[in-house]
Structure 1
Amino acid sequence: MTIFEKIRIIYPKIIGIKINNKIIGIQSKNFEKLTINNKNLILFIENNTSLSDFEKKSLKVMLKNSDLNDIRNIKIDISKFFNIIKILNKQYKLENLLKKIEESLCNLLGSEGSSILLYNKEKKVLNFFITSGGASGKIETIDVPIDNSVAGYIFKNEKTFVANNTEELPFHFKKTDKKSGFTTKNIIGTPIIFHDEIIGVLESVNKENGFTEEDKNIIEVFSKIISNKLLNSRLYKEISDTTKSIILSFATAIDLRDNYTHLHSQNVTGYGVAIAKEMGHSDDFIESIEIAGLVHDIGKIGIPDEILNKKGKLTSQEFEIIKSHTIMGADILSEVEFINDKILCGPLEHHEKLDGSGYPYGKKEEELSEIGKILAIADIYDALTTKRSYKEPWPVEKAINLLRENQETKYYKKAIDALERYLQKKSA
């Protein structure tokens, strides 16, 4: 009888997990994962293309230090283990990701709470950055001293530390417990190192029966994962800022071709972002609409100057050429790797109208994206309130009234409401 067959006697409602046609583990009906041995789960990690090399290495270290002797314990350990893989695979904002990592640490260690403390160079103290468990949300304002706390001891000595009876410690900082109403019985902590510099401490507290040497290995791996995520977040921000700078330069260069609209792309972006914020959209959405706003008229690069800067009325043929900038812009941007379909809707749809009377495709409300509908309002409002070759700038009230007259037939009412709220706050 194979190991898998023996396990199936204990857990009848299971199926095999296969990699390269070999059963390496089993899956129960409630989707908790079990493994037959470390070697096969390491194979699973190595074959998981969604994990980075660093994350694979970290997870293998965790696995190496896990107790996988008892099949019933395996059920718990591997369920937690796969949960960590899921978290590392998902895209979270940094603070949310660190919170998830902390919760996973508590889950894996069997501890009551965890904290990330970062060093405050100005005050020369440690401050709570992310907390989970019973003290969460109550201790962020506390200044933890370097010379009279466990976190400070770890920070100064640059090494992992375990105390399974905090009452015996001469440097246990009791103010944290007093403010949170949370009693720290035992504690484990390790430095967080970023670019060869200790920037903080990762702690976990209150494990039944105390922390072990194996727990040291686990928390050290989590500290490295946190450092890696901090680095990736910083690099992403640097890349993102550089990318936006390049896009802004390119958009400005295109706007300068039109004597009357040299700030148009920036204006539309500003209004679009303001509307999205007023409507309560997510940070990811706001970032997408920011890029979409900057590049919404990028297709004008293909419009001849004599048409783009014509002072008189355009002929029907010339207007058709002008209208082509929407499709042309989307075509150009579709070749750019970081421009996704959501962003492409900005250049493509900012001249569409809810009743289908817009261009280039005459799409109706249900076919239009949120970004397209918002940028349409931002684009029209800026066009109305800035000077053009054929008109003087309209007053704000007149522009809003025009949008209101056509709300829900041509223009997106929620976006108009949000724009008006923003303008009122701005003028207050």
Structure 2
Amino acid sequence: MVAGGYERAADLPLCNEHLDELSALATTYGFTVVAKEPCSIRAIDAALYFGKGKMEELREKADAIGADVIIFDEEISPNQQRNLEKLFKRPVIDRTELILEIFSQRAQTKEAMLQIELAKSRYQLPRLKRLWTHLSRQTAGAGGATKGAGERQIEIDRRLVRDRITRLSREIKEVQKHREMQRKARIRSGIPTFSIIGYTNVGKSTLLNALTQAEVLMEDKLFATLDTTTRKYALPNSQEILLIDTVGFIRKIPHTLVAAFKSTLEEAVYADILLHLVDINHPLAEEHAEATYAVLKELSPEDKPIITVLNKVDLLQNKSLIARFKLKYPRVVPISAKSGEGFDELLKMMMSIIKDFRTVVKVRIPQKDYSLVSLLMEEGRVIAQEYEENDVVLEVEIPSFLRHRVEKYIEDDSHCQHS
């Protein structure tokens, strides 16, 4: 059974859409959803989230239909989770725990496995007491001795989990060093990179396959892709580019996951240009687009060029939605990744944006702004470098969106060519 709350009657349709998404997540994990329960709530209850009366109603429904697990759309605290499991007498999980379990199922590379283990460890740390409730129930009549032993064991477990978090963080840093070397090699190659980003299950892998004839795993499931895939592709004007397929974004992405998967998610924003894919046929297309932009903002402060690609346009009944997107976002192309409709326009826009996406500048950076040197070396390709007194003089090819950061230090770029 999946359940979610809404405060005003006007919010009920949105609550139902969110429960549909939660049901899709549950199905992706392997559950069979037997009921969706939107609950009208007045205020959040500190002990039981929805309040005792509402939760008892839900328990009666769960008993009547034989639900094995209750899944809440909202994030519930460790204390609420313990109280709810006592009330329901069955496992209670929230959206965050469900997403963590799906990621755990689908992680394939070493980095993804380490990241999900780290996220799960951080999630479990404040919940260790819940894992020990079975001990106190089984030994309820044994007095305080067992309780004391349980408390001691929880402390030992906490220490073990903290040690595991430290070890995993260290291992992830090592894997990330290798990824960083690969990224720098891509920058040195001077080949423009496009990241295909978007809400989970919008057709990113389908688009990558259609453009490059690659065989990337395609499933009609949420989070089918957890690791980044990079493919080389030649545009119609023979310009070589790299296309990167990335992990899908999602509404209310758990903070433990954003932190643990930061390097995988950052792979998307390290690209020169972003292809933001939207399933235009989805009833929550606009909300999904906003959720993706929210995650992007959290990951990258830089304004990179974004092409908003409206996928599945062949299934769209209400064409006015395309006009709404065009009013909101600067570069919008409707396509069908399955049929190839709109590909010509998309490729034209990609070629047009590349023309001036990198620029060569000569800059003199004073000692007080040395952090800029690191940024230019990370994001750009150094052509020449020398030191004059306390200044660093660089001739460097950089993405055009960074030019405003160094404008005041540009010496003379009349000889520098756009590439």
Please classify the TM superposition score into its range, dividing by the shorter chain length: under 0.3
TM-score by length of 2: 0.26
TM-score by length of 1: 0.25
Query: Which structure has the larger Rg over C-alpha atoms?
Result: 1
- Greater relative contact order structure (CA < 8 Å, 6+ sep): 2
